[in-house]
Structure 1
Amino acid sequence: MLHELLFVLSGYPGDVFVPTPTQVPTTFAIPPGFPLLHSAERDSLNRFGQLGWTYSQINDFVTSTKDLKLSRQQSEASNRPHGAYIQALLTCIETTLNEYRHDILEIEKSILNKEDDAGLGVVPISLIAAKLTRWELLLPSLWKFVRLLQTDPEKYHGCRLFNLLMDQVRTGVLEYRKEMEKIIEGLYDVLYRQLSSWMVYGHCVDHYNEFFIVPCNRTAATATTGWNRLYTIASDRVPDQLALSVVESVLFVGKAIATVNEIDKMPSTATINTQDEDVLLNSKLVRTVAQTRKIPIPEGMRKKHLDLLLTLHSSRLQQLPSMWVQYPQLLQNVVNQVRRSTSDWLFSQVLIGDHGLHRYLSSFRHIFLLSFGEWASNFIEECFAWRKRSSSQFNRSKPKEDSTKDSNKTALIFRHQELNALLLKSSLNTDAEGRLSGYSLWVENEQTKNFVFSDMLLGKLGIVLTFSLEWPIDLFINENHLKVYSNLWSFLISLKCTQTSLNNLWKSLRTSGYVNQDEKLPVQTSNINLQSRNGYQERLVWRLRSLMLFWIDTLWNHLQAHVISFHYDQLIDVTTLSDDTTPRKRRSRQTKTKLDFEEIQEAHEKFLVNIERGCLLTSEECIETMHLILTTCSSFCQLMERLTDEGEWRINKRRRIMKTAAEIVNNWTDNETSSFWLKDIEHIQEEFKGSTEKFFNLASSQPPEIKSSGKIDILLLQLDYNKWFSNPYS
């Protein structure tokens, strides 16, 4: 019986312990007809049979999975646990099973040596059970864990295993918790090797698609530019205990090293796929990168990074209690140090000369933030002219229903090309000439729908300015930063467009009263007499235009002078090395002799946040209100332009000195019919008044940090200089 007992504990059935039930065994048990056993003895022995069966199942899983050899193609279609992380897990489990086997051997040795003999060759079952107490707690829990892996291997593949282990380690069973901690340590060693290969050498060694850094596929690559075509983050593989900032830092360091390693292998424009339009649009940048000199990575920096990452290996962390709890913090510290070191080196070796940081910041200031006012005005005028041409062409030719879809698709392509050509045309003979390389317009696509003000310039046809991020500026500026710049441009160009429309309206209203501009002969019209009601209609129009232009001018001047220029100067100060000969530096007492990449990135992000706050683009209510104000102003301009084109707006320069009674009565009776557009103007006035009052209240109630960094109090003071908003009786 003792021989059979040891045999079944080792996972092998025999004559006494047989698989039960026969069809689908779930345990090893003594058959019901076995004689000479008390029910209590049978139950105790069956417990050992259950333990042996559990061990055999775990051992079979380890043996079958450990010997599984799959190619990369087979692993993608396999529904069995596989990969480097599973192999590390199996190694830890096998170590535990070896301890179990050792305990069985010790029990057998003590039986043979009669160390546990209670007399007459009897070995108490309770004594054997006491020696196996640890395994009766551990093996069933471990088997349950193994079944989770077998049930859904894809869910717990690669780095996803960490999430399962973090759930399992939170248990009250001490032995099982220790086992999970040991497995976590083994998996962290695999992660350490992948991090070392990626962050030190720029190699993504991942045969089984387990790492959270993955090469970009063809489809995703066409939507990105520069080095962002190489690798990206697989968000579904990122362990929950790792912060997104840490993972992004890992991606940044590895991509930087990989790009520097491969910079001499980048394609020239002659070898670029002609179907890749995004690259062809930026062939000049690609050629520049392809001809960039090889930048050797310092061996000292490699060794430093290896030493830092080596501290994450389990052999260095044996002294730490509950290492799995502290590992994410340790990893974050190490990754931050490696990123800082890599960033500083890149900043000193790559972002120099023609690719200097200030060159890009200055370009974004001039183009995105409309410092080049002449170019912005030219572009707006070109858009106005294009809009009129498109409107007249649409009215002349209406497409048939059958060809609507094809014509719309073709028209969108031509619009994209035409508007981007206008972008370059508007820069001729301005400061922006030759400085628009990399800039382009998104025209009525999915991206433009995310920008509220994209419909202000061309009406329903949304356009947004963007920039092609290429090496090396994408080391510093990412897609999120670019979206902020595009959003700011969309808002500022809408504001400038409204300002231009109101200024052009003055010319239209003043010159529409003359047929012959050379002779300056006033036109007499019988439709409308603007001198009715002592010139109320004329005063209403001019006053409303004046109010609108004052509000737009005040906001525009405030943004350019007190927000954009102020914070841009601060950014330049932070990103400039100290110069004792500069009076400004001497006054600020800055002694910066080395630029810190992380501090510069932080300063740039702070700059964007402050600009957004100053433009009040951090408040959804303010955005909606400002959009309504600009839309109201545009509606007013369009209405008055239509009235002048239709001849309904005429200014009589010669006041009548005398009026007959008949004329006065005629003015009274015809006033309602002749001033059909007066109600529209009054409605626009009320809408503008309500929107601006709402904006003033919203801006006044902004949080203190937004008011401070956005200089909101200065704007409120300028808008309310005559108590127009704050005085309820104004």
Structure 2
Amino acid sequence: MIHEVLLSCLNLQSKYLSLEDFTATDVSTFLHPCEKLVLQDIITIINLLRDIEKFAKVCGSNNSVNRNVVIFDTDEPLQKGLYLKAFANGIDTVLKDYFDNITALEQNYLKNPTNFSLLFIYRNLKTYEPLALYLRKLIRVIRSQKLHGCEIMQFLHQNAEHGDQKIRAAIKTLQLAVNVVFFKQLTHWILYAKIIDTYGEFFIQCSEGNINSAAESDTSKCASTESGKHASTITTLSKVASTYADIWRYEICYELLPHYLPTGWAEKVLFIGQTILIFKADANKHKILTQNWSKTEHTDLEDESSLSNEKEHIYFGKIQMLQNDEELNVQHYESIVNEIKAYLTTRLSEIAINQADLVQQLKLIKEYFLLGRGELFLEFLRLTYEIGKDKYNENKVHDFVKAFESAAHGVGVSEDLERFSLSIAKPLMHSSNPKELEHNYLHYMQLNYKINWPLHLLFSPKVIDNYNILFRFLLLIKKMQFELHMMWCNKVRRTKLCSREKFKLTSLLNQLIFFIDNLQYYIQVDVLESQFSILLNTIQNKADFEEIQKAHTIFLANILSLCFLLTNEESNKLNINQFIVSQSNNPIYNILIDIFSVCDNLSNVLRQDLCGMIIKDYIDQQDERFSMLMDQLINYLIGLKTNPTTTPLSQLLLRLDFNHWFSTKKKKLFA
């Protein structure tokens, strides 16, 4: 019987435990009551180990059919994954000491059977019972919570500390086994920008829906303008553009990120992989162009695009050092990733400033997205003054694009059309509400920008979207200014109103023009010029790419904030005046839009051939409404100017109410 017990201890994979036959009634009568209890305890421990071994074989096996085997009661099949498989294989490693011990007992028993007893075997098995119970607890939690991927790493880290040295060593063994998978995925991403993740377990995931629409529109525009012998080249280049867009398809899945790894560390890992992707895309572009051009024409470009300078093996060795770190020191993780990121950002900074001409690209963005070339957009508004008043027509979209190109030719900047192009957003074209198809071309315009390599990391799709928000807002201000001056030239001088009513109209127009002019000056000079100079100083001080990226993010956030455009995009809607109104907690933005609506409404009324009395009443209404809006605006600006971070708002308040004219008017109005 002793030998049968030892064999049962070793044969944990059998479907039937032959040792249980000794508990049968006809056999147990030959056993002492104490032996019966000891035998039952041995069977309990063996069954516990059998369940653990069954889990290890099923989940650690490559045979997917066996994964539906029920191990515990009310079990559900676990989701497949490399981390689960590594955990199961780690359990096999932990149980190796148990098998070695039982094997040694069997060999000693065969040499000298008289020295063994049932109690002696039980005492040896008893030492493994706490470990078996703890392993079963881990398995049950993984099954009940359906832990997957990096979540298993987090779970093991939470249970790494234990008073029992054997259990603590077992957890370390399981962590090392699971970390092998993690570091393989981390190495592939950091060094080669590849995600080897069949089951979606790594904390960096690829999102199929996040595509850079700007890049696609650029390539489609190029494809539409080229034909004939260049068609194949354009097709291949479109693939390169889509490769550049791929860097924004990768994002951090914070649910899978182990909690002991900081989110800042994960963002650095993501940035490193995106940087590698940018350089891989450029290498692919050179390879594609080589097939069409001579090799001698682009040999220098390949040398300049080298990022790692064949240092992959050095970084590979450092990452592998982390795999053998039994203490799992997070500082080691951060130091190695910081070292790799520091090298990449320094290299990127050199290429961005010297090869991609970052300063010049930022100046071009300022000239177009931020309306630095005022003469270009003034000419564009002049050409589209009548087009924008018509109802929506697909041909009108083409007219706007042609008008932008004509304006560029007219002011002598046609060479920039290869980098900037105007388009009308698709939501306008598919709108089902007929009211939304009138007079709102401006609110769906966007500039497409062909980004210089490797500045795609700086100008992400989200950044370009924010620039387009600024572009539309600044163009709206420019349009209001243009319409007010056109109103003054074409309507006020020719109106049939009496001198008193004409004076009221002239006074209202003067106030509106004064407001729009000073608002535009505030944005262009006090906000854009000052913030842009800060950004250029950072770049010219030879900052690395990370500092440049941070400075650019601050620059964009500051100008959005100081232009009152930090709003909730999901709450934007069109009001009856066809202006995009924000329902967020930004009252100044709402007031500005309401003032723009006053300008628009006044223009619409004066455009119609109405009798003098109707126009008089409408002018009085709009004048009163404008006075109330200015009162609200000045009160908000007074409340905000005390904040040291909003110094430019004091300049806006000073420009609008420098002689207290609006304040005095408010007192007279409510006296």
Q: TM-score, normalised by structure 2?
A: 0.76
| 2:477 corresponding residue in structure 1 | 495
| 1:435 corresponding residue in structure 2 | 416
Matched, 1:546 2:510: yes
The answer (yes or no) to whether the contact 2:532–2:555 under 8 Å persists in 1 is yes
Matched, 1:683 2:621: yes
| 1:729 corresponding residue in structure 2 | 667
Shift of 1:373: 0.6
1:312 to 286, 311, 322: 322
Matched, 1:35 2:33: no
| 1:266 corresponding residue in structure 2 | 285
2:20 to 17, 22, 34: 17
| 1:604 corresponding residue in structure 2 | 552
Matched, 1:144 2:107: no
Cα 1:571–1:91 shift into 2, 3 Å:
same
Shift of 1:571: 1.4
Shift of 1:385: 2.1
User: What letter corresponds to residue 530 of structure 1 in structure 2?
Assistant: C
Equivalent position SS for 2:658: coil
Shift of 1:356: 0.8
State how 1:577-726 maps to structure 2 within 5 Å: 592=541, 594-618=542-566, 623-646=586-609, 648=611, 675-702=613-640, 707-708=644-645, 711-724=648-661
Shift of 1:362: 0.4
The answer (yes or no) to whether the contact 2:423–2:446 under 8 Å persists in 1 is yes
Q: Work out the CA distance in 2 between the residues paired with 1:171 and 1:40.
A: 33
CA offsets 1:177-230 (integer angstroms, 9 cap, x no match): 654443333333332233333323445545665545566759947775534334
The answer (yes or no) to whether the contact 2:423–2:445 under 8 Å persists in 1 is yes
Equivalent position SS for 2:333: helix
Matched, 1:185 2:187: no
Q: TM-score, normalised by structure 1?
A: 0.70
| 1:661 corresponding residue in structure 2 | none
Q: Work out the CA distance in 2 between the residues paired with 1:699 and 1:253.
A: 43
1:250 to 254, 260, 269: 269
Cα 1:16–1:85 shift into 2, 3 Å:
closer
Shift of 1:455: 10
The answer (yes or no) to whether the contact 1:616–1:623 under 8 Å persists in 2 is yes
Q: Work out the CA distance in 1 between the residues paired with 2:652 and 2:151.
A: 51
CA-atom RMSD in angstroms? 4.3
The answer (yes or no) to whether the contact 1:379–1:422 under 8 Å persists in 2 is yes
CA offsets 1:80-116 (integer angstroms, 9 cap, x no match): 7655434432332111111222343455567778899
| Runs of at least 5 residues in structure 1 that lack an aligned partner in the other structure | 19-28, 71-78, 273-282, 395-410, 514-524, 577-591, 649-673
Equivalent position SS for 2:93: helix
| 1:559 corresponding residue in structure 2 | 523
Cα 1:93–1:212 shift into 2, 3 Å:
same
User: What letter corresponds to residue 254 of structure 1 in structure 2?
Assistant: G
Matched, 1:239 2:264: no
Cα 1:91–1:377 shift into 2, 3 Å:
same
Q: Work out the CA distance in 2 between the residues paired with 1:168 and 1:258.
A: 37
Q: Work out the CA distance in 2 between the residues paired with 1:339 and 1:30.
A: 65
Cα 1:563–1:632 shift into 2, 3 Å:
closer
User: What letter corresponds to residue 276 of structure 2 in structure 1?
Assistant: I
Cα 1:298–1:465 shift into 2, 3 Å:
closer
User: What letter corresponds to residue 123 of structure 1 in structure 2?
Assistant: L
The answer (yes or no) to whether the contact 1:65–1:81 under 8 Å persists in 2 is no
Q: Work out the CA distance in 2 between the residues paired with 1:147 and 1:678.
A: 77
| 2:426 corresponding residue in structure 1 | 445
Matched, 1:131 2:127: yes
Q: Work out the CA distance in 1 between the residues paired with 2:280 and 2:408.
A: 38
Q: Work out the CA distance in 2 between the residues paired with 1:640 and 1:235.
A: 50
Q: Work out the CA distance in 2 between the residues paired with 1:447 and 1:330.
A: 52
Cα 1:161–1:335 shift into 2, 3 Å:
same
The answer (yes or no) to whether the contact 1:256–1:475 under 8 Å persists in 2 is yes
Shift of 1:687: 2.6
Shift of 1:456: 11
| 1:655 corresponding residue in structure 2 | none
The answer (yes or no) to whether the contact 1:89–1:187 under 8 Å persists in 2 is yes
The answer (yes or no) to whether the contact 1:351–1:472 under 8 Å persists in 2 is no
The answer (yes or no) to whether the contact 1:613–1:709 under 8 Å persists in 2 is no
> Where is the helix percentage greater, Structure 1 or Structure 2?
2
Shift of 1:312: 2.1
Q: Work out the CA distance in 1 between the residues paired with 2:472 and 2:161.
A: 50
Equivalent position SS for 2:446: strand
The answer (yes or no) to whether the contact 1:4–1:14 under 8 Å persists in 2 is no
Q: Work out the CA distance in 2 between the residues paired with 1:595 and 1:447.
A: 42
The answer (yes or no) to whether the contact 1:8–1:17 under 8 Å persists in 2 is no
Task: Tell which structure's C-alpha radius of gyration is larger.
Answer: 1
State how 1:326-345 maps to structure 2 within 5 Å: 326-327=329-330, 329-345=331-347
Q: Work out the CA distance in 2 between the residues paired with 1:167 and 1:224.
A: 44
Shift of 1:482: 1.7
Cα 1:681–1:207 shift into 2, 3 Å:
same
State how 1:38-49 maps to structure 2 within 5 Å: 42=36, 44-49=38-43
Question: Which has the higher mean CA deviation after the structures are superposed, 211-220 or 183-192?
Answer: 211-220
The answer (yes or no) to whether the contact 1:615–1:710 under 8 Å persists in 2 is no
Cα 1:420–1:716 shift into 2, 3 Å:
same
Equivalent position SS for 1:239: coil
Equivalent position SS for 1:436: helix
Shift of 1:262: 5.4
2:99 to 80, 98, 101: 101
Shift of 1:175: 6.1
Q: Work out the CA distance in 2 between the residues paired with 1:116 and 1:369.
A: 94
Equivalent position SS for 1:458: coil
Cα 1:303–1:486 shift into 2, 3 Å:
same
Q: Work out the CA distance in 1 between the residues paired with 2:464 and 2:622.
A: 36
Cα 1:675–1:425 shift into 2, 3 Å:
same
Q: How many residues align?
A: 599
CA offsets 1:248-294 (integer angstroms, 9 cap, x no match): 4334333433443453432899999xxxxxxxxxx9xxxx9999444
User: What letter corresponds to residue 68 of structure 1 in structure 2?
Assistant: N
CA offsets 1:108-157 (integer angstroms, 9 cap, x no match): 56777889979xx57368734642343343242244256459xx5xx62x
Q: Work out the CA distance in 2 between the residues paired with 1:356 and 1:168.
A: 52
Equivalent position SS for 1:465: strand
The answer (yes or no) to whether the contact 2:212–2:245 under 8 Å persists in 1 is yes
Q: Work out the CA distance in 2 between the residues paired with 1:573 and 1:247.
A: 29
CA offsets 1:360-417 (integer angstroms, 9 cap, x no match): 10011111111111112122223322123x34xx7xxxxxxxxxxxxxxxx55x4544
User: What letter corresponds to residue 127 of structure 1 in structure 2?
Assistant: R
The answer (yes or no) to whether the contact 1:138–1:176 under 8 Å persists in 2 is yes
Cα 1:31–1:436 shift into 2, 3 Å:
farther
Shift of 1:47: 3.6
Q: Work out the CA distance in 2 between the residues paired with 1:447 and 1:647.
A: 32
| 1:92 corresponding residue in structure 2 | 90
Q: Work out the CA distance in 2 between the residues paired with 1:303 and 1:557.
A: 55
Cα 1:197–1:715 shift into 2, 3 Å:
same
Question: Which has the higher mean CA deviation after the structures are superposed, 220-229 or 608-617?
Answer: 220-229
Q: Work out the CA distance in 2 between the residues paired with 1:289 and 1:32.
A: 88
The answer (yes or no) to whether the contact 1:246–1:335 under 8 Å persists in 2 is yes
Shift of 1:572: 1.3
1:229 to 212, 224, 245: 245
Cα 1:312–1:700 shift into 2, 3 Å:
farther
Matched, 1:198 2:189: yes
Shift of 1:694: 2.3
| 1:656 corresponding residue in structure 2 | none
